Amino acid sequence: MPLPHPRRSRRLRTLLGITAALGLALPGATALADTGTNTGTGTGTGTGTRERPAPAGAAALREVMFVGNNWDGTADVITSRGGLSRIGRINVVPDKDQRLTEIYLNPVKLGYFLGVRLGPGEGHDQFVDDMYSTPDGTAVVVSRPSFADVVSVDLASGRINWRFPVAGYRSDHMALSPDGTRVAVSASTANTVHVLDIATGRQLGSFRTGDKPHENLFTDGGRRIWNMSIGEVTTALDAPWLDWTKGDRRITVADAETFETVRVVDMRERLDAFGRPDLSDAVRPAAFSPDGSTLYFQVSFFNGLVEYDVAGDRITRIRTLPENPATNQDRTTWVNDSRHHGLAMSPAGDKLCVAGTMDDYATVVDRSTLREGPLVPAVKPYWATVNGDGTSCIVSEAGADRVSAIDFATGQRTSSVDVGDHPQRVRLGRVPTGWTGPAAR
């Protein structure tokens, strides 16, 4: 039975070729690869994850989830367990006027700023991509693509503690080290990943990647950083025979202490060896099994997922998931080359949660069989993560401005909550007990 096909967000496809040309032709991105600087003096002490306890002597904290509202420039704070509800909201662009003034006075920055708006922003500015809170609950660290930076925002006052401008002209996905002391952020136009001290915003190191670095994952207890570069995703050259125009796409594995490259994985070779030369090698959202032996990932233009044996360095299974019959088959209409964008694994490692972005559904996949459960209707689901107690998958519905919980056991939606404009990344974090938002100024 066909799934409902709700409204699509506005797209400005006609200017994407211009956007890509700006991204390739404007000078300075490569030369700036190591020139990001810290412009503040933050006082945070790190970023938390589900497993990490709060620091000894810290104030009482509450576990929450942060939802980045990409087009709003806000982050909603919602409950992390049980039924979803909103606790408070943070403005993550309190310096918006200052940043815009700087951009308007610099023709090169303005060109890229407009390129982000007309390309990956689908006609909107991208004010928040990723975020993590500090384990003491005092701040949230946010990457802001349109402003090409990372900032630490004080949760009590709403003021900026520190700001780090990334190399080039756009910041993207981040990752948090297991000990909470470092964040890795992709500088997508500079083909660089920066690793920052989360307390001060000081750069600890950086490493080079393929074209347009995107997803980052810490592995091996924080000793390695995996980066996935996705190449050009805003051009209209989306026909399979034009795949070569998308650039250098690869996985770069770097040592998290020395920042030296220790491994490069070209998925083009692995996909060809598996008999799937038709699939793109642009690795999108990814999730490791709990023991780190297996990597699951999505690729551009594909409604499904790929299973990769890390030690054996080979693809072992590929699963094609259902299509929504109402989905437009014109690949140039798919958001930034995504068909499906969002993947999370249950803590037990037995289930995968998939956001079927352009097919307007989310589903829980059994890891042993790779068979999907119920197709839960969702409006442009753009990310998937796991809630605080590990019982549910949390999906951001970018086209409906809400976040939904899907039970891992039943595969059914259990609750939803309205959030801001175009939610994308959702991350677990902490705020002080009783917190409802920054104090009015």
Task: Give residue 58's pLDDT band: very low, low, confident or very high (50, 70, 90).
Answer: low
Q: Is residue 26 part of a domain?
A: no
- Lowest mean pLDDT segment, chosen from 18-22, 168-172, 213-217, 374-378: 18-22
Structural domain total, the chain = 1
Residue 286: is its pLDDT beyond 90?
Answer: yes
> Residue 196: inside a domain, yes or no?
yes
Quickly state the pLDDT bin for 29 (edges 50, 70, 90): very low
Give the pLDDT of residue 21.
34
- Answer yes or no: is 23 within a domain: no
Q: Among 55-69, 114-128, 188-202, 330-344, name the one with the lowest average pLDDT.
A: 55-69
Please report how the helices 16-25 and 107-118 are oriented relative to each other, as an axis angle in degrees rounded to 10.
140
pLDDT confidence bin for 20, thresholds 50/70/90: very low
Q: Following DSSP, what letter does each residue of 122-151 receive, concatenated?
A: TTS-----EEEE-TTSSEEEEEEGGGTEEE
The overall average pLDDT reported for the chain is: 88
Separation CA 337–CA 357 (nearest Å):
11
Q: Per residue in 113-137, pLDDT tens?
A: 999 999 999 999 999 999 999 888 9
For residue range 374-396, what is the model confidence (pLDDT) as tens digits?
999 999 999 999 999 999 999 99
In a domain, 31, yes or no: no
Whether the Cβ atoms of residue 334 and residue 364 lie closer than 8 Å to each other? no
Stronger pLDDT, 243 or 54, i.e. the higher one? 243
The predicted model gives 192-218 an average pLDDT of 97
- In the prediction, which pLDDT does 35 show? 33
In the chain, pLDDT over 70 holds for what percent of residues? Answer: 86
Domain housing 406: 36-432
81: left (phi over 0), alpha (psi -120 to 50) or beta: beta
Amino acid 34: pLDDT: 32
Could you read off the pLDDT of 222-249 as tens digits, one per residue? 999 999 999 999 888 888 888 888 999 9
For residue 94, give the CATH number of its domain: 2.130.10.10
Q: In terms of DSSP bridges, do strands 213-219 and 203-208 run parallel, antiparallel, or are they unpaired?
A: unpaired
Q: What confidence category does residue 344 fall into, taking pLDDT thresholds of 50, 70 and 90?
A: very high
pLDDT at 48 over 80: no
Average pLDDT over residues 401-414: 98
The whole-number average pLDDT for the span 396-421 is 98
Q: What angle do CA 9, 11, 16 make, to 5 degrees?
A: 155
Is the predicted pLDDT of residue 182 greater than 60, yes or no? yes
On whether residue 19 sits in a domain, the answer given is no
| Domain assignment of residue 394, yes or no | yes
Kindly state whether residue 27 falls inside one of the protein's structural domains: no
pLDDT at 172: 97
- Is residue 441 one of the residues assigned to a domain? no
Mean pLDDT of 203-214: 97
**Residue 439 confidence class, pLDDT cut points 50, 70, 90:** confident
